[in-house]
């Protein structure tokens, strides 16, 4: 019962504060030029949405849920609009319907109508076959479009794989050779190591981590319990645990960065904008 009362109190307070601030800001912004009004509202709504989403940390509440649904709705809507506005219209409909026959401010035409553009209709029809998946009778037609996409993606991925992974694969072959041609030293407080020794040690650690991690995923033969292979793969598991820890640490850092940016926004933009309205 007390819990429900507290929840209601939080909700009413949040809604009350929201309405009060909206009214005060409305009064202030309406006296400003239109560009400043829009900017003011943009900052005001941005702040309110941030506060509403963060209110989840106190307790789940209707204000949070409202803004969560609002966000999902806007994100869905904007994806559809942007898909049309930034791709379908400029890349397909605009040239096809002849709207891209444009002149630059200097009077030159940069793209006259090209009849070959009508060939765009062929891939479009092929793409539309995807929608056949919605009918039982013609679902097989969708396979043509899917097959085409898979083939194209596979070809692209093949080229990409070589550019992306081969240099890393080559770099994985590290040398343990210690060359004393380089006489510089690296300070590892409180020790000082000759650079080649440090490099060889670093390469040794790298190869141990790499091979032990590989061994963990090596399931093609039976491992003896307590055997060398088993122990080596356990080492790999520990190495991966360390790696996951590093991933988790960087994730926390990224989340904190998001929060610090929002706080910066409140300090630099939201508070001065909203309170200029409240004070005036």
Partner 1 sequence: MENSGSIFDRALIALDHIDRRIIYLFVLFSLTIPLVKGIKLDPAPFETANSFFETIATFDKSKGKIALIASDWGPNTKAENQAQMEVAIEHLMREKIPFALTSLSVFSKPFLEKIPNKIANRLNEEGGPYTWKYGVDWVNIGYRPNGSIMIQSLAKSKDLKKFWIADAKSTPLKNIKMLEDVRTIKDIGLLLEFTGSVGAFDAWVEYFSVDGYKPKFLHGCTSITIPEARTYMASGQLDGLHEGLAGSAYYEKLLSNSYPDREIGQAWKMNTGLAFAQAIIICFILLGNTRIILNSISNLIGNSLKIFTTDND
Return residues touching partner 1 (CB under 8 A). 57-58, 82, 86-87, 91, 102, 104-106, 108, 110-111, 156, 159-161, 163-164, 167-168, 170-171, 243, 246-247, 250-254, 256-264, 267
Min. distance of Cβ 148 from partner 1 in angstroms?
14
CB nearer to partner 1: give 27 or 242: 242
Nearer to partner 1, 99 or 140 (CB): 99
CB of 76 vs partner 1, minimal distance in Å: 15
Mark 91-116 as b/e (b = at least 16 C-beta within 10 Å): ebebbeeeebeeeeeeeeeeeeeeee
Cβ neighbours of residue 98 closer than 8 Å, sequence gap 6 or more:
113
- Looking at residue 86, what DSSP letter applies? I
Provide the minimum distance between the beta carbon of 153 and partner 1 in the complex, in angstroms, as a whole number.
9
Taking the least distance from each CB to partner 1, the nearer of 97 and 243 is: 243
- The CB-of-31 to partner 1 minimum distance in angstroms stands at 26
Retrieve residue 24's tokens: 């005060």
Residue 16: both structure tokens together? 């009350």
Q: How far is the CB of 33 from partner 1 (least distance, A)?
A: 20
Query: With respect to partner 1, which residue has the nearer C-beta, 108 or 187?
Result: 108
């Amino acid at each position: 019962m007390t819990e429900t009362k507290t929840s209601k109190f939080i909700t009413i307070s949040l809604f009350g504060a929201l309405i009060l601030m909206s009214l005060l800001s409305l009064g202030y912004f309406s006296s400003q030029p239109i560009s400043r009004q829009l900017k003011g509202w943009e900052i005001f709504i941005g702040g309110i949405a941030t506060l509403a989403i963060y209110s989840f940390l106190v307790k789940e509440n209707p204000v949070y849920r409202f803004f969560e649904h609002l966000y999902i709705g806007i994100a869905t809507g904007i994806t559809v609009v942007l898909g049309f506005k930034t791709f379908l219209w400029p890349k397909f409909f605009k040239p096809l319907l002849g709207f891209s026959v444009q002149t630059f401010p200097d009077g030159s035409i940069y793209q006259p109508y090209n009849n070959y553009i009508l060939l765009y209709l062929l891939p479009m029809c092929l793409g539309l076959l995807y929608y056949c998946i919605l009918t039982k009778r013609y679902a097989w037609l969708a396979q043509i479009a899917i097959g085409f996409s898979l083939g194209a993606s596979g070809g692209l991925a093949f080229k990409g794989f070589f550019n992306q992974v081969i240099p890393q694969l080559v770099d994985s072959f590290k040398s343990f050779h210690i060359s004393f041609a380089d006489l510089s030293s690296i300070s590892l407080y409180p020790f000082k190591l000759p650079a080649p020794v440090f490099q060889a040690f670093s390469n040794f650690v790298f190869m141990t981590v790499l091979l032990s991690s590989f061994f963990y995923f090596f399931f093609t033969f039976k491992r003896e319990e307590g055997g060398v292979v088993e122990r080596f793969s356990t080492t790999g598991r520990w190495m991966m645990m360390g790696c996951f820890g590093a991933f988790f640490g960087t994730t926390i850092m990224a989340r904190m960065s998001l929060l610090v940016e929002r706080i910066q926004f409140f300090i630099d933009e939201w508070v001065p904008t909203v309170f200029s309205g409240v004070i005036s």
